[in-house]
Amino acid sequence: MTYNQPIQCGLSKSAVDALAANVAKQVNYEPGDDLYPIVARLGGRITVNSLWEVSDATSGSIRIEPDGSFTIALASHTGKERDRFTVAHELGHYVLHYLWPNHNGRVTGPIEAKRYGSGKVEWEANWFAAGFLMPEQEFKRSWDELGGVVPLLAEKFGVSLDAARIRVETLGLG
């Protein structure tokens, strides 16, 4: 079977952020929650590939089948926080580059996205991941409650220090 590469959704960064927070709310995601049950409820599954088992090992990828089911592949050599961001990033591809265009009349067919490069499609998926894992309003509230201590924010939201720092910068909190 031939898989298409994802195509930009064309939404602004703030629109992707708001959509991600809305999706998180719709699937009853709370900061720090396990993502595996959410992926399963959406019709997907997560696999972990050994660096030695596959010739094309990446830190993350998604393959969306013609029926809408999907598989997110993680590498075995990454850590928990990185894996959480990767899963949310791949969910971003699913929502922004599969569900969104199909909902708006642009049938995309099966898609495969690998976490290589830094083009607009990857930016969109990163924006989604940040907005999903660290919804703006909750993050700002937590910033105030935790006195702006980035390691505590990272721990609360289950993300790396770098992801929390970038979110602080993006939201103009630092």
pLDDT tens for residues 97-152? 999 988 888 878 899 988 665 689 999 999 999 999 999 999 999 999 999 999 99
Alpha helices for 51-119 (secondary structure H):
80-94, 100-103
Q: In this structure, is residue 162 part of a structural domain?
A: yes
Please state the separation of Cα 126 from the chain's center in Å. 6
Q: In this structure, is residue 5 part of a structural domain?
A: no
Q: In this structure, is residue 8 part of a structural domain?
A: no
Host domain of residue 70? 13-168
Query: What would the pLDDT profile of 38-75 be if each residue is shown by its tens digit?
Result: 999 999 999 997 665 554 545 689 999 999 999 999 98
Domain total in the chain? 1
The pLDDT > 90 percentage for the chain reads 77
Q: In this structure, is residue 149 part of a structural domain?
A: yes
Mean pLDDT of 10-15: 96
Q: In this structure, is residue 146 part of a structural domain?
A: yes
Query: What would the pLDDT profile of 73-86 be if each residue is shown by its tens digit?
Result: 998 888 899 999 99
Q: In this structure, is residue 6 part of a structural domain?
A: no
The torsion angle over the Cα atoms of residues 85, 87, 91 and 93, rounded to 10 degrees, is 80
Report how far residue 51's alpha carbon sits from residue 153's, in angstroms, rounded to the nearest whole number: 31
- Whole-model pTM: value is 0.92
